[in-house]
């Protein structure tokens, strides 16, 4: 994906500082990391090679997805990984990891999220989450929790909402 020209990556299931450091090694060019210098689309098939490779280590974005209680417990080492730009909480996955699947507002899930938000703030990196119900109340709640970035739904949630509306319309018509 990076060779195709992505500005960065959101990597799922980062459970430790070692996981995060390994991803930095894969994404950054030497001397910071070990990314390959192969000729590819990202740097214009070699025409912009020097400019691209010189600026990538400073401008490429690495976001670690925090999706398990293991990651929550290791968030200080993850958040303080040099080269990590942000962490993104996967509330559904954390809920499942805490044996309360689907309960993204469960007190244990919210406490885990609070811990991640605080660790990210202390490390000076952004902390993101995704919300399924895009409403003023959910956006305000996410901001009140301390998130610095919010993913406003996804194609899955949009299609799900549309399917529910279609089902309700069919029931009204029949």
- pLDDT tens by residue, 87-104: 999 899 999 999 999 999
pTM greater than the 0.75 cutoff: yes
The predicted pLDDT at position 134 comes to: 78
Cβ proximity of 37 and 29 under 8 Å: yes
Tell me what pLDDT residue 160 has. Answer: 80
Q: Per residue in 34-85, pLDDT tens? A: 988 877 887 777 778 788 887 888 899 999 999 999 999 999 999 999 999 9
> How many whole angstroms separate alpha carbon 44 and alpha carbon 81?
30
Tokens read off for 158: 């949009």
CA 117/CA 68 separation, integer angstroms: 15
Residue 158, φ and ψ in degrees, nearest 5:
-65, -45
Would you say 11 and 62 are in contact if contact means Cβ atoms under 8 Å apart?
Answer: yes
Q: Residue 61: CB partners within 8 Å, gap ≥ 6?
A: 7, 8, 9, 85, 86
């Amino acid at each position: 994906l990076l060779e195709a020209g992505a500005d960065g990556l959101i990597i799922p299931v980062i459970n430790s500082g070692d996981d995060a450091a390994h991803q930095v090694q894969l994404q950054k060019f030497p001397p910071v990391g070990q990314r390959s210098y192969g000729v590819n689309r990202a740097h214009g098939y070699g025409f912009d090679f020097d400019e691209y490779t010189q600026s990538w280590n400073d401008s490429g974005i690495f976001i670690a997805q925090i999706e398990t209680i293991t990651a929550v417990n290791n968030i200080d080492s993850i958040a303080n990984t040099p080269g990590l730009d942000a962490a993104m909480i996967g509330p559904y996955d954390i809920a499942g990891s805490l044996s309360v699947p689907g309960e993204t507002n469960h007190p244990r899930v919210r406490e885990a999220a609070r811990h991640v938000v605080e660790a990210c703030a202390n490390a000076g990196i952004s902390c993101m989450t995704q919300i399924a119900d895009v409403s003023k109340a959910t956006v305000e709640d996410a901001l009140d929790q301390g998130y610095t970035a919010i993913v406003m739904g996804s194609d899955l949630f949009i299609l799900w909402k549309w399917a529910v509306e279609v089902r309700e319309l069919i029931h009204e018509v029949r």
